[in-house]
Amino acid sequence: MTMDEPTVLDVLVVAPHPDDAELGMGGAILRFKADGYRVGVLDLTDGEPTPHGSLETRARETAAATKILGLDWRGNLGLANRSLQPTLEARHALAGAFRQLRPRLLFAPYWVDAHPDHVAAAELVEAARFWSKLTKTDLPGAPHYPQRIVSYYCVHLRLVEKPAFVLDISEVWEQKRAAIECYQSQFVTGRPTQPPTFLDQLRDQAAFWGWSIGAAYGEPFASREVVGLASLRDLV
Ligand SMILES: [Zn+2]
């Protein structure tokens, strides 16, 4: 695992590849940071090879996006891109990271996807969350059970799902877009330049979810468990 010194976080976003966290919930991350939460992203793989990327390019793009998001921490678990599997070994490594980073909230990719790495990542997060609380194990750190898992959408299918909730990201949309644009090798190079471009479509989706809650831009989230409210104050 390559990572900065582990630190205690409020929110940990687990992503199969560098760019999934930005795509699925870059706006939420920026909102969490504005609210004073300590937020980290753990990429499970390096995301390479891709048609127009390289390890060096991807690392540079990830560093630039990390800066825009203002993350408190970002790491890479070093699992195998394209052949990610929810193995016991991977579960051990991820549970160990949870026990070191101790997030209250976990964010995982949505569990239905065409990309097998994303499906594996969703399963892996659930399993590692359970292992993270175990006593009498050889896992590093003290037992820790993240309170909730919320799923973000970075899906390689044209799914139109009903989300559990939508977060208003109108104020941070431009920053989210800038973070995604850092990944030129993934979203710009070699892609059609005629409108609607990939980034145009992304904006249109954000505008649709924004419209659904009466805002300019929004991000949808799913949850297998029921979502509770502490008060009505933040309802939009
Ligand atoms: Zn991905």
Ligand 1 centre and the CA of 110: distance in Å?
Answer: 11
- Helix, strand, coil proportions of the chain in percent (round to 5)? 40, 15, 45
Residue closest to 223 by CA, chosen among 107, 129, 143, 127: 107
Ligand 1 centre and the CA of 232: distance in Å?
Answer: 34
pLDDT at 3: 53
CA 24 to chain centre: 6
Tokens for 84, please give them.
């990610």
- Residues of the chain scoring pLDDT < 70: 1-6
pLDDT at 145: 97
pLDDT at 7: 81
Q: Is 131 left (phi over 0), alpha (psi -120 to 50) or beta?
A: alpha
pLDDT at 116: 97
Residue closest to 158 by CA, chosen among 112, 215, 220: 112
What is the DSSP code string of 154-219?
A: --SS------SEEEE-GGGHHHHHHHHHT-HHHHTTTS--SSSPHHHHHHHHHHHHHHHTTSS-EE
pLDDT at 4: 57
Ligand 1 centre and the CA of 82: distance in Å?
Answer: 9
Ligand 1 centre and the CA of 75: distance in Å?
Answer: 16
Ligand 1 centre and the CA of 154: distance in Å?
Answer: 7
Q: Which helix (H) or strand (E) holds 153?
A: none
pLDDT at 137: 96
Ligand 1 centre and the CA of 233: distance in Å?
Answer: 34
Q: pLDDT of 80-114, one tens digit each?
A: 999 999 999 999 999 999 999 999 999 999 999 99
Tokens for 15, please give them.
């992503």
pLDDT at 56: 96
